[in-house]
């Protein structure tokens, strides 16, 4: 098959064969790893080898040593954390990105990759109903998208306050007030720490984890000077969305920058049935989202979106002085933390081309329908309780007291038919299932419910 590929042929043949075995094992394999980290380490060899080894043999050794330690994150029965699978077009496109090996930081070096990523960015803005002139950076994930967006926010609001961050740094400048919801994702705090912005003011949330507007109003009243509000679209436990439109209007009254963590929730905008959840999203200043979750492209791929043109470039640009001119063509390295970088936006183009607008809608609607079916099925089990309003892809279940819930999860994971995650939700132990895989179907849902039933009745 790969004859004529010169020194690559044998290794690629082996990689293709192992890929096929891996993907075709999904229907029957347990989704959790069967080997420990230690065991994989030993099988890989432990000691640095002295001599060389044929590429094909390396691939065989690697695949064989690692395989039993793999989690089937691409399987439709993997409901742990918030993990997307891989669409076939996105996977194949990612292989090509590897083979092409384009250093995709600049259009001068990699015009084809810049064209493809820019088109993916344009399609994303249309699909997610965000202002079409926004700047888009393809990051490694939402954490780095937060970092990039909040760097733009920090730069802009300090500049508006008359402070030149590039020349002076943060020390001695006006204090920046950061407001976050009580149930924000931890990666917001991580990004704030990277940026030296200090501890945020925490605004209480309601029973679904949504930021409370009355409390936000009070907190904003106490801010004098530059401020950034971080909202959330899609709480990792409940799936709930902050009231983005009202919170944004309130924050903008105080000239605060509004950033939204929409790691998996922003994709609601692609569905006419769900877009009300992100109502007002087109008015916020920046968004972070992941393509490696809901869109089901391979790791790693996050997206930073900043609506004010030039802001991302001024904060993240390779050459911020030149970039200050505002409309020089943006290179990828002007929007993200890396200079040399993989063209990780190319699989996004492939995913969008393969699904089209209605395919993305059906993907998101399908995840939510399956989450609701799982929640309904669990609710009918003896002693079970669904702890959240299932408005999106997340389901939190409890089975009586914390001890019993932990025991149910332990039995579920020991069996390994499905993966779910232990979480604390509003002070209670819960089992969380996230439906984020394009391939999860009705059969997977009923297999999951059977596994839950066995775990509760054993």
| Binding segment (CB under 6 A) for ligand PLP, from list 137-145, 197-205, 318-326, 369-377 | 137-145
| Neighbour count for residue 294 (Cβ, 10 Å) | 28
Complex with ligand PLP: residue 72 or 240, whichever CB lies closer:
240
Q: Could you give the CA distance from residue 211 to residue 20 in angstroms, rounded to a whole number?
A: 46
Give the contacts of 163 (CB within 8 A, at least 6 positions apart).
Answer: 173, 174
Q: How far is the CB of 68 from ligand PLP (least distance, A)?
A: 25
Sites for ligand PLP among residues 58-87 (CB under 6 A): 82
Sites for ligand PLP among residues 82-111 (CB under 6 A): 82
* Residue 205 engages ligand PLP in binding (rule: CB under 6 A): no
Contact present, 233 and 262 (Cβ < 8 Å): yes
In the chain, the largest separation of any two C-alpha atoms, in whole Å, equals 69
Q: Which of 60, 104, 116, 187 touches ligand PLP (CB under 6 A)?
A: 187
* Residue 185 engages ligand PLP in binding (rule: CB under 6 A): yes
| Binding segment (CB under 6 A) for ligand PLP, from list 21-29, 49-57, 105-113, 138-146 | 138-146
Q: Could you give the CA distance from residue 79 to residue 418 in angstroms, rounded to a whole number?
A: 7
Q: How far is the CB of 342 from ligand PLP (least distance, A)?
A: 15
Cis peptide before 161 (omega within 30 of 0): no
* Residue 394 engages ligand PLP in binding (rule: CB under 6 A): no
* Residue 432 engages ligand PLP in binding (rule: CB under 6 A): no
How big is the site for ligand PLP, counted in residues (CB under 6 A)? 13
For the chain, the helix, strand and coil percentages under 3-state DSSP, each to the nearest 5: 45, 15, 40
Q: How far is the CB of 81 from ligand PLP (least distance, A)?
A: 8
Q: Which of 75, 116, 142, 388 touches ligand PLP (CB under 6 A)?
A: 142
Pairing of strands 428-434, 421-425: antiparallel
* Residue 302 engages ligand PLP in binding (rule: CB under 6 A): yes
Complex with ligand PLP: residue 78 or 399, whichever CB lies closer:
78
* Residue 261 engages ligand PLP in binding (rule: CB under 6 A): yes
* Residue 263 engages ligand PLP in binding (rule: CB under 6 A): yes
Contact present, 227 and 256 (Cβ < 8 Å): yes
User: What are the structure tokens assigned to 271, written together?
Assistant: 């569905």
Round the CA-based radius of gyration of the chain to a whole number and report it: 23
* Residue 290 engages ligand PLP in binding (rule: CB under 6 A): yes
Q: Could you give the CA distance from residue 83 to residue 140 in angstroms, rounded to a whole number?
A: 15
Q: How far is the CB of 424 from ligand PLP (least distance, A)?
A: 16
Contact present, 294 and 267 (Cβ < 8 Å): yes
3-class DSSP string for 97-116: HHHHCCCCCCCCCCHHHHHH
Complex with ligand PLP: residue 148 or 271, whichever CB lies closer:
148
Q: Return residues touching ligand PLP (CB under 6 A).
A: 82, 141-143, 185, 187, 234, 236, 261, 263-264, 290, 302
């Amino acid at each position: 098959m790969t004859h004529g590929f010169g020194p690559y042929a044998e290794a690629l043949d082996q990689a293709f064969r192992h890929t096929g075995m891996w993907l075709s094992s999904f229907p029957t394999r347990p989704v959790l790893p069967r080997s420990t980290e230690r065991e994989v380490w030993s099988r890989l060899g432990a000691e640095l080898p002295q001599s060389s080894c044929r590429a094909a043999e390396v691939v065989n050794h690697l695949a064989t040593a690692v395989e039993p330690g793999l989690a089937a994150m691409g399987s439709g029965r993997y409901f742990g954390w918030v993990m997307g699978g891989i669409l076939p077009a996105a996977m194949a496109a990612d292989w090509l990105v590897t083979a092409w090996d384009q250093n995709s930081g600049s259009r001068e070096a990699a015009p084809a990759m810049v064209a493809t990523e820019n088109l993916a960015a344009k399609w994303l803005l249309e699909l997610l109903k965000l202002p079409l002139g926004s700047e888009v950076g393809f990051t490694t994930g939402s954490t780095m998208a937060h970092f990039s967006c909040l760097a733009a926010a920090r730069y802009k609001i300090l500049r508006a306050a008359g402070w030149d961050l590039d020349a002076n740094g943060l020390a001695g400048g006006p204090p920046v007030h950061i407001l976050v919801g009580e149930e924000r994702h931890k990666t917001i705090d991580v990004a704030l720490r990277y940026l030296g912005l200090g501890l945020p003011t925490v605004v209480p949330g309601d029973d679904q984890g949504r930021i409370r507007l009355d409390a936000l109003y009070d907190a904003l009243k106490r801010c004098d000077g530059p401020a950034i509000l971080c909202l959330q679209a899609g709480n990792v436990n409940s799936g709930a969305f902050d009231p983005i439109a009202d919170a944004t209007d309130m924050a903008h009254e105080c000239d605060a920058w509004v950033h939204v963590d929409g790691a998996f929730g922003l994709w609601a905008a692609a569905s006419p049935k769900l877009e009300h959840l992100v109502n007002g999203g087109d008015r916020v200043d920046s968004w972070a989202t992941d393509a490696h979750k809901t869109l089901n492209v391979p790791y790693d791929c996050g997206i930073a979106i900043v609506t004010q043109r030039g802001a991302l470039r001024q904060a993240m640009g390779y050459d911020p002085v030149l970039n200050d001119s505002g409309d020089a063509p943006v290179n990828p390295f002007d929007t993200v933390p890396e200079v040399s970088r993989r063209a990780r936006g190319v699989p996004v183009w492939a995913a969008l081309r393969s699904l089209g607008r209605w395919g993305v809608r059906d993907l998101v609607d399908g995840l939510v329908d399956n989450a609701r079916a799982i929640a309904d099925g669990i609710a009918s089990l003896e002693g079970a309780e669904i702890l959240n309003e299932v408005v999106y892809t997340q389901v939190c279940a409890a089975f009586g007291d914390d001890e019993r819930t932990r025991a149910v999860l332990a039995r579920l994971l020991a069996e390994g038919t499905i993966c779910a995650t232990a979480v604390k939700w509003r002070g209670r132990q819960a089992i969380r299932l996230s439906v984020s895989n394009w391939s999860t179907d009705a059969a997977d849902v009923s297999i999951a419910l059977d596994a839950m039933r066995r775990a509760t009745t054993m």
